[in-house]
Amino acid sequence: MGFSLADKVAIVVGSSSGMGRATAVTFAKAGAQVVLAARSAETLAALAEEIGENAVACPTDVQDAGAVDKLIETTLEQFGRIDVLVYATGTNIPDRSLEVLSNETWDMMIQTNLTGAFYCTKAVLPTMRRQKDGVIIYVSSGAVQRPDVSGVSYQATKHGMVGLAHGTFQEEKENGIRTSMLFPGLTDTPIVLKRPVPTPPDVMAKSLQPQDVADACLLIASLPARVYVPELIMLPAGLA
């Protein structure tokens, strides 16, 4: 795709695999300085080496507000600004039905999928306010558009991200800060392996690929400041 992020600094949360990894690689190829954030230090180090000089690894547990603050501090120390934040991390569990969902698992899902997004948003806003510019992209799920059996904890957290994104935009638009929600349908990522019943191979063959989501993130991130993309729904054409 012919979109440039030259001279831009981007943090990609969830860079260790799937959509986040593809987005980090795509951003770096488009010229951005990319800060890779996820829990696995070893995986991030390998990815940073693969990408080269445009990438810096910063192991981060998004459930820890202090660790998220450190992520922002490290990025500013390295590059002095933050133009784009992509929140592409998230999880689900096999035991997702209400019959077996535990209080502890519910709390973990809220912390990872929603509270982590809040921590990252809150931490990056002061920098973007000073710049009078910034884009925050949240990767949600097609489960928001149509009820499914992905589990109430997963659906609740992905719905919650919508409120976080749109509420943030309304509060911060005068500061030049834009937010975008991405709603990918079935995508061939490791989270699919956590389904209680494996998805048939013929269905997976029609799924989106992580690169599709990465290209959408690149499009949004590279648009001029006058353009606001509140939501973007992406579904596999063969399964829509």
pLDDT of residue 49: 96
Q: What is the third-level CATH fold of 9-234?
A: Rossmann fold (3.40.50)
Q: Which residues are catalytic?
A: 154
pLDDT of residue 52: 95
- What does the alpha-carbon distance between residue 28 and residue 23 come to, in Å, rounded to a whole number? 9
Instruction: Please give the average per-residue pLDDT across 19-47, as a whole number.
Output: 96
pLDDT of residue 196: 64
Pick from 161, 162, 188, 213: which is nearest to 27 by CA? 213
Position 193 pLDDT exceeds 70 = no
pLDDT of residue 134: 98
Residue pLDDT, tens place only, 105-141: 999 889 999 999 999 999 999 999 999 999 999 998 8
Question: In percent, how much of the chain has pLDDT > 70?
Answer: 95
User: pTM of the predicted model, to two decimals?
Assistant: 0.92
- What does the alpha-carbon distance between residue 177 and residue 83 come to, in Å, rounded to a whole number? 10
Structure tokens at 69: 């603050």
